[in-house]
Structure 1
Amino acid sequence: MTTTQESPTAAGSGSSATEAFRASTLHSGAGTDPARVSAIVSKLLAGIHDVVRDESVTYPEFQAAKQWLIEVGEGGEWPLFLDVFVEHAVEEVAARTQDGTKGTILGPYYLPGQARLATPATLPQRPDEKGVPLVFTGHVRDTDGRPLAHAELDVWQADEQGYYSGFAPHLPDGNLRGLVVTDAEGRFEIHTIQPAPYQVPTDGPTGKLITAADWHPWRPAHLHLLVSAPGHRTITTQLYFKGGQWLDSDVADATKPELVLNPADQGDGTTAVDYDFVLEPA
């Protein structure tokens, strides 16, 4: 498996991520209680003030931070920055009151409205799609172990070079994305390829921060999933691969032991893995 040597531009990714965020119904919600706004923003500002005092931040450093914030906004990179560096903490808080399969971050590369596919399904791909073939199977059940017929698995992933359709101009729309529907027994079977790790775009302000802090910009290879069924809480999760590069140093800090797959070689160049999802009542 190869890894990405260069990524699509940060400007292109930022623009696509912002457009996708605005279009997605996942992010709509009721208005926020003003008291909560006051409490959260006050603590956020207090934390920033503490950093300024504790680190004796200078005026040149303060001006550099303002310029960086302006560039993040102008480049449309807020979805990228927040999803990579902040979302994992929000997800950890949400997980305190959740049962069922472990979740993790959504990330910046979700696109709604993908092709609906009955199981067994092959994710849309190019005729010459490169990569190790993967057969991903399992069941979707409720917390009492009952199968959930016609549950939906919204699946998306990077290709063998670490690129996502919709964010890399050379990929066709919908490549390696699909909405897979389970059968009457809650079972699914998805044919795809093993994805590669991907690099957070480094030519924009997010990348400048990563470089300035001497961090690496990589995420381990993973499958993204939104698993849903009527009357049940939707699970947002990612599944990783045992032994994968960057698994122990994910720049987004989103990996969890329960989410690591161990595909078996089938002897014909194909790998296969089984993984079940458990959904709690909504």
Structure 2
Amino acid sequence: MSTDTAVDTATAAASGASATERFQTDKSPFEAVRDTPAERVDVLAREVLEAVHATIRRNKVTYDEYNALKAWMIQVGQDGEWPLFLDVWVEHVVEEVATDHREGSKGTIEGPYYAPGAPEGGSRGAVPMRADEQGTPLTWTGTVTSVDGTPLQGAKIELWHADADGFYSQFAPGLPEWNLRGSFTSDNDGTFEIRTIRPAPYQIPTDGSCGKLIAAAGWHAWRPAHLHVKVSAPGHEELTAQLYFPGDDHNDDDIASAVKPELMLDPKPVTGGSATVDYGFVLDPVRG
């Protein structure tokens, strides 16, 4: 099916439902915190509620506003947009806290559109894409090392990103299952080369509950163009990041607050209309 079909039929509800289903399939969140002490749950729950109570008191929230909030929260669940809401407005702070000990490369949020099991492309290959895929061809080279400079052979580099219309395969109709999603492995000297296309900026879905919040608050819905990556190697902490392009109108006001200067690429134009970029990763060894 053509890209136009995806543009015509993609909806926030369908995307949200896909993100929710994917999260429930791929994650086991309750198992990870099964043994959390009651004291920890008590502190976190109380502080969140106290922050809500303080907001209500400080702003003298009315019953009409309170009921509108209840209706909106119910609708978020019905639309399947909790992954979108949390990943756009909350995850960047969780990521900041969870990785503040790292000495290696900076990371950022995963977002709601990751899918494990992408096709393998070796140490030098291309992501799956349509024959007429729109966008500037981009060749990305890099090296994966440990913090002491040792090249990491066999490091896994997972790459995924939106197409030129801002849609992700498996979360919008009309796209091949693994379009613009690939998994690569660093060579014996830690190097890799990936061929893809430069993605475009896009708006997060606005026809669902998150869009209603954006409109009511007078916000914009734009994310700057970015490449998603996960980089992992035995004995090292997994790195999740997004890589950005200079000059994007929304690098400074990304709705997801996920842009960091350390994640900015420096693409170089190549004769014929393509581009190259060199960007590598430094992974932290697993502690203790």
* TM-score normalised according to structure 2 size: 0.94
Question: 1:170 deviation in Å?
Answer: 1.4
Aligned match of 2:159: 155
Distance 2:38 2:90 in 1: 22
CA contact (8 A) 1:221 1:245 kept: no
Distance 1:200 1:248 in 2: 16
Amino acid at match of 1:240: Y
CA contact (8 A) 1:119 1:188 kept: yes
1:1-282 mapped onto 2 (5 Å cutoff): 8-25=10-27, 27=29, 29-31=32-34, 32-282=36-286
CA contact (8 A) 2:9 2:173 kept: no
Distance 1:49 1:73 in 2: 22
Of residues 6-15 and 82-91 in structure 1, the stretch that sits farther from structure 2 once superposed is 6-15
| Number of residue pairs matched by the alignment | 279
Distance 2:28 2:236 in 1: 15
CA contact (8 A) 1:100 1:280 kept: yes
Of residues 38-47 and 22-31 in structure 1, the stretch that sits farther from structure 2 once superposed is 22-31
Amino acid at match of 2:21: E
Distance 2:26 2:193 in 1: 26
Question: 1:149 deviation in Å?
Answer: 0.5
Distance 1:261 1:249 in 2: 17
Question: 1:6 deviation in Å?
Answer: 7.8
Amino acid at match of 2:17: S
Amino acid at match of 1:223: L
CA contact (8 A) 1:15 1:76 kept: yes
Distance 1:33 1:189 in 2: 45
* TM-score normalised according to structure 1 size: 0.96
Aligned match of 2:3: none
Of residues 40-49 and 27-36 in structure 1, the stretch that sits farther from structure 2 once superposed is 27-36
Corresponding residue SS for 1:208: helix
Distance 1:12 1:65 in 2: 23
Deviation digits for residues 115-174 of structure 1 (CA, Å, limit 9, x no counterpart) = 111021100000111110000000000011011001001110011111110111011101
Provide structure 2 residue ranges, at least 5 long, that are not aligned to the other structure. 1-5
Distance 1:149 1:6 in 2: 43
CA contact (8 A) 2:136 2:273 kept: yes
Amino acid at match of 1:22: Q
Distance 1:141 1:135 in 2: 20
Distance 2:28 2:11 in 1: 25
